[in-house]
Structure 1
Amino acid sequence: MDKILEDSGALTPALLLADEGQFEQKALDLLSKLSKLSAQDFDARDQLDALQPSTHTITFLYLLTVSIDTSAASGKAAPRQLPSSVLPEGSLWPYITQILLDFDFIQVRYCGTQLLRIIDIVTLGAEQTSNYIPAIQLLHQVILRLDSTSSILTSTHRAFIRLCLLAEAYTEAILILDQPIYHIPTVLDNRSKSYLCSSGDQNSTYLNPATGLTQPITVRIFLEYYLLGALSYLAVRRYKDALFFLEIVLSTPTAQNAVSMLQIEAYRKWTLLSLILKGSIPESPKNISQGVLKYLKALAKPYDCIVEAFVSNDIEKLRTEIEAGSALWQEDGNYGLMVEVYQAFRKFTVIRLGRTFSALPLVAVANKMLADEQDLTETRAYLDSLIAERALHAVVVNSDDGDQILRFLPPSVSLMNESEVDTALSTQTLRLQLLLKHIQDSEHRMETTKEYIEYLKKLKKARDDDKKVSGSGNGRTTTVDDVDEDMMEEF
């Protein structure tokens, strides 16, 4: 054990800077030695007390998993339950907290399986005890320590968002959800010829199933992340973001047009959100399969009936449809959205008036909204709220005879002040710069794939053949499209 501790201490930043190859070899040798030890060879708990997780990440994680196995083997936990030692306030919890907060992000690339196991234990423990907050805080730190931009989707993301929903910790969830996902890891990502400890590689080189730092991202994990993310945005009334996440769920390719229950749930909420935000028949996401869309419509027919009632401009018909399906909306967890659909009908009634009139007395507006024409206080307050939310591009003014007038403004008139415009432009600029960076990274990964290299070889051969043909003065020139078509025939 002393030799192992010595080898563990040799994995220093200085060695990494001086010789990446030697660092990697020492890390692999250390893993080999640790895997040959049994729990009887040492007292893992005592060794953990003597180690700093930030400098001995590999050894610390290995000893911690041995301690967990020993605790589980004691038989004190109920069947299918984690032992109390790994739960908050348990004897091993301080060590779990230490490693998740302080692991070295280079060494952890060599022991991703052990780290992911600790993450799974923390997640299961939170659900077992319904004590979610400690786990949420730890997983949040893990995600950002592995990838400071949180731009690579991992299985930890899904676990984190799920716990946030269970705890109703929507603000914490959105801190991660607001970070755009640019890459879905696969086992093929680990193609770099450099060392795993290299600091020059992209995060996707090591943050993938090959290193064990994430489970393989299956279609279900992908759909769950975006559906749970949409629910988080719904909880804080960020409906545009929720709609975008739901469209990703609907647009995800499926085998032989099979429809997932997650997509059915997404379709129901997407339909209602489209009415709330746009007030019209929802436009299907461009990338959705027509076969999938057909099945979704058939399985969510009552929701399409609501759409038909909404666009009919008949508020009584809409009210009847909503009341008739009250039990179904509650069973689906969509009753709250259905109430907002009814309220949105009122909003879009006012907005549609602007397409016909440039101005209207508030009395006429109240009549269209089926509000009290004798007391315009509620109507004025409602219109002011729409204007404040930027949902209605208009102002309320007083006429010369004292009547209140709703005057619709042309699109060229902006209600944003100069500072708001500057902030919006700066935010958009930063987003575009980040997007361009990730596009360049994606192009670099594509250029190193076997398929792209084979494509270049075929293109070069085609051009060489063209030169021979053109030299003889006969024949047709081969184009890039010809090579692309030839490659597609191979699949």
Structure 2
Amino acid sequence: MTQLDASLAVLQGFPYDNTFDDNEAYHSAILSHRKSLEKLAASSGWTEAAPQLINHINPAAHSLSYLVALNTVKTSPNYPLDELIDKLTVFVNSFDVRQIRYGGKYFTRLIQHPRLVDMMPAQIVIGIVTKALLRLDPTGSMLTNHHIELLRYAYMRGHVDINIILPLIEKDVVFYPGMKASPGDRLPCDPEAPSVSWMTIENEFSIAINSQQVLEYDFLRGLSFINKRDWPQAFEALEKVIVYPILDGARDACSKMMTEAYNKWVLVGLLLNGRVPEIPDGLVANQCVKQYELMGKPYVQLAQAFENGDNVQRLLAEYNGVPAAFWQEESNLELVKLVLSQWQAWQIIRLGSIYSKISLEDVRKATQSAEMGLPLGSVDEVKAVVWRIINDYQGNPNVPGIAIDEEGQYVIFADPAEGDHEKEYAERIAAAVERMKALAPLVKAVNERLATSQDYIKAMVQAQKRTEMAAAVGGGGGSGGGGAAGRGGGGGPSTSSLLHPEDSELALDSLDFQDSIDDEDLMTGVTMGG
């Protein structure tokens, strides 16, 4: 047997047909196979042989072997780039997830050593890495440093590349690297094992991430959804930033990025719901509420004028009442202009609370363009605004059903819960049910971890004792931040660029976790600081 034959025997040595009695048998076999692969990759002649051997490995059947060989091929001198791209593409679309759960070191190397972004066109890299991460963890529930770096890279590249990464950043992150292992964690090969149990720092799928990186990820998600004019997703992503848990009373804990997110969140809230959004009660530390009120005053005043909806001059006064360069320096000029352009649309939407039918001419007289400061000049212009409402807000539960009659003379408003919109609501309910089903395994994983966490149990016991003591003396319990949308103070602009944030969901304050566990535990595995 030649050395190539011997190497190929190792590479094809794992029984890919999964003829194992149980997960324990699979676990033992794949660990043994990985050890053989590591020995092979360290042997003399491997670097020269890998480009030839990889052509004889099935990436779907012998995925871990293919991954090891692919890492070597990637760094082989003079290996054709088009062939490397082909092999990467085939691999990320076909690898056996069960095997790759044991290949964290090689998975990370494939992406980063050297970085794929330094070797091939950006759109190809973003597509390959996005596909790889989603195939590895279809739920997208585990955040890794790869997610953060990929989103940062895609956002800085522009709109086209953001489109490619959308399927990844639309996922709900639940877990973070560094979370404590649960005694009930399953083996990585268990098909039912949640990603948090194997997509770990120890298995080299990620390095530790800090709180600023988590904030950056959601902040860039928000900016990406703003670019796509996906207001519900943008609103949710930015809200995660502004309610990010911090230690109440900690100095400078409310970062510049959180304040910038708040300002954008207010504007997006107007575009989504037509009113000033309120900070979720009890989820924000007091010092952050105060900072939002101070730094966000121009935004909230603009939003209040927008929500009032009957005085275009007041709206324009709030827009023009700050220094000329303010909105531009805050990197919010285009978003503010979009808000102004939608002011008349929301005037029309609000007419639905009064009328079931109104002529387009009466709509023209009753509403004004914030861009002109006057009513529109023709019925056709009003009709164009109505069609924009229909296109932009179809399915929004805060917007009544809107249509134009067949003669093109009247706007018709309908209760969104009645008539033709019953099917639309049924579809939304069905989508919500499917979303809940998809989240069920994640909720189960979280519950299992909490049920076995001594820190969590200790904190719950302490919280219960405080509640009982407060009840005994007739007092109230618990502290924590909270408040409504900012209404106070002055403040000046922030000048950081959207592309380069300078500061790179869970209300824990009420349990006083900071009294019983470390900062790292407070952030479920995320270390504090930058």
TM-score (norm 2): 0.70
| Separation in structure 1 between the aligned mates of residue 47 and residue 61 of structure 2, nearest angstrom | 17
- The answer to whether 1:252 aligns with 2:244 is yes
* Identical aligned residues as a percent: 23
Partner of 1:322: 319
| Separation in structure 2 between the aligned mates of residue 410 and residue 198 of structure 1, nearest angstrom | 49
Partner of 2:215: 223
Closer, same or farther: CA 411–298 of 1 in aligned 2, 3 Å: same
Partner of 1:45: 48
TM-superposed CA distance for 1:373, in Å, is 7.5
Residue pair 1:250, 1:266 contacting (<8 A) in 2 also: yes
Partner of 1:341: 339
Residue pair 2:177, 2:207 contacting (<8 A) in 1 also: no
**1:273 maps to which of 268, 275, 285:** 268
TM-superposed CA distance for 1:378, in Å, is 1.9
Partner of 1:306: 302
TM-superposed CA distance for 1:434, in Å, is 2.2
| Separation in structure 2 between the aligned mates of residue 334 and residue 455 of structure 1, nearest angstrom | 42
* Alpha-carbon displacement from aligned partner over 1:234-267 (angstroms, at most 9, x marks no partner): 2221111210111011111135261223322211
| Separation in structure 2 between the aligned mates of residue 280 and residue 19 of structure 1, nearest angstrom | 56
Q: Which structure's CA Rg is the greater one?
A: 1
Residue pair 2:16, 2:61 contacting (<8 A) in 1 also: no
Partner of 1:433: 437
Residue pair 1:57, 1:104 contacting (<8 A) in 2 also: yes
Higher percent of residues as helix: 1
Residue pair 1:177, 1:229 contacting (<8 A) in 2 also: yes
TM-superposed CA distance for 1:446, in Å, is 2.7
1:289 partner letter: A
Residue pair 2:23, 2:187 contacting (<8 A) in 1 also: yes
| Separation in structure 2 between the aligned mates of residue 339 and residue 489 of structure 1, nearest angstrom | 46
TM-superposed CA distance for 1:218, in Å, is 2.7
1:334 partner letter: N
Closer, same or farther: CA 27–187 of 1 in aligned 2, 3 Å: farther
Closer, same or farther: CA 218–16 of 1 in aligned 2, 3 Å: farther
2:286 partner letter: Q
- The answer to whether 1:12 aligns with 2:15 is yes
| Separation in structure 1 between the aligned mates of residue 260 and residue 142 of structure 2, nearest angstrom | 25
| Separation in structure 2 between the aligned mates of residue 225 and residue 42 of structure 1, nearest angstrom | 42
- The answer to whether 1:174 aligns with 2:169 is no
Q: Structure 1 unaligned segments of length 5 or more: list them.
A: 72-84, 459-484
Partner of 2:482: none
Residue pair 1:223, 1:262 contacting (<8 A) in 2 also: yes
| Separation in structure 2 between the aligned mates of residue 330 and residue 228 of structure 1, nearest angstrom | 19
Larger deviation, residues 240-249 vs 181-190: 181-190
| Separation in structure 2 between the aligned mates of residue 103 and residue 294 of structure 1, nearest angstrom | 50
1:276 partner letter: L
| Separation in structure 2 between the aligned mates of residue 101 and residue 336 of structure 1, nearest angstrom | 38
2:303 partner letter: V
**1:139 maps to which of 122, 129, 146:** 129
Q: Which has the higher contact order (CA 8 A, sep 6+)?
A: 2
Larger deviation, residues 90-99 vs 50-59: 90-99
Matches within 5 A, 1:8-407: 8-14=11-17, 17-18=20-21, 20-21=23-24, 23-25=26-28, 27-29=30-32, 31=34, 41-51=44-54, 52=57, 53-62=59-68, 65=71, 89=81, 96-97=88-89, 99-121=91-113, 124-126=115-117, 128=118, 131-165=121-155, 166-169=157-160, 170-189=162-181, 191-192=183-184, 195-255=187-247, 256=250, 258-286=253-281, 287-311=283-307, 313-323=310-320, 324-355=322-353, 362-370=360-368, 371-372=374-375, 375-387=378-390, 389-390=393-394, 391-393=399-401
| Separation in structure 1 between the aligned mates of residue 137 and residue 13 of structure 2, nearest angstrom | 25
Residue pair 1:227, 1:246 contacting (<8 A) in 2 also: yes
Residue pair 1:187, 1:210 contacting (<8 A) in 2 also: no
User: What is the aligned-residue RMSD (CA, Å)?
Assistant: 4.2
Residue pair 1:61, 1:114 contacting (<8 A) in 2 also: yes
Matches within 5 A, 1:461-480: none
TM-superposed CA distance for 1:112, in Å, is 0.7
* Alpha-carbon displacement from aligned partner over 1:426-456 (angstroms, at most 9, x marks no partner): 2222122223343223223333445578899
| Separation in structure 2 between the aligned mates of residue 455 and residue 309 of structure 1, nearest angstrom | 44
1:282 partner letter: P
Closer, same or farther: CA 265–414 of 1 in aligned 2, 3 Å: farther
Residue pair 1:4, 1:34 contacting (<8 A) in 2 also: no
Partner of 1:423: 427
Q: Structure 2 unaligned segments of length 5 or more: list them.
A: 369-373, 462-510, 518-530
Residue pair 1:208, 1:216 contacting (<8 A) in 2 also: no
| Separation in structure 2 between the aligned mates of residue 406 and residue 248 of structure 1, nearest angstrom | 37
Residue pair 2:222, 2:233 contacting (<8 A) in 1 also: yes
Residue pair 1:15, 1:23 contacting (<8 A) in 2 also: yes
Q: Secondary structure at the match of 2:446?
A: helix
2:257 partner letter: L
TM-superposed CA distance for 1:230, in Å, is 1.7
| Separation in structure 2 between the aligned mates of residue 354 and residue 366 of structure 1, nearest angstrom | 14
1:441 partner letter: A
Closer, same or farther: CA 118–191 of 1 in aligned 2, 3 Å: farther
Closer, same or farther: CA 392–104 of 1 in aligned 2, 3 Å: closer
TM-superposed CA distance for 1:167, in Å, is 4.3
Closer, same or farther: CA 45–397 of 1 in aligned 2, 3 Å: same
TM-score (norm 1): 0.75
* Alpha-carbon displacement from aligned partner over 1:175-208 (angstroms, at most 9, x marks no partner): 2233333433434236456544344433322112
Larger deviation, residues 289-298 vs 88-97: 88-97
Closer, same or farther: CA 337–392 of 1 in aligned 2, 3 Å: farther
| Separation in structure 2 between the aligned mates of residue 403 and residue 317 of structure 1, nearest angstrom | 32
TM-superposed CA distance for 1:135, in Å, is 0.7
TM-superposed CA distance for 1:116, in Å, is 0.9
| Separation in structure 1 between the aligned mates of residue 237 and residue 29 of structure 2, nearest angstrom | 44
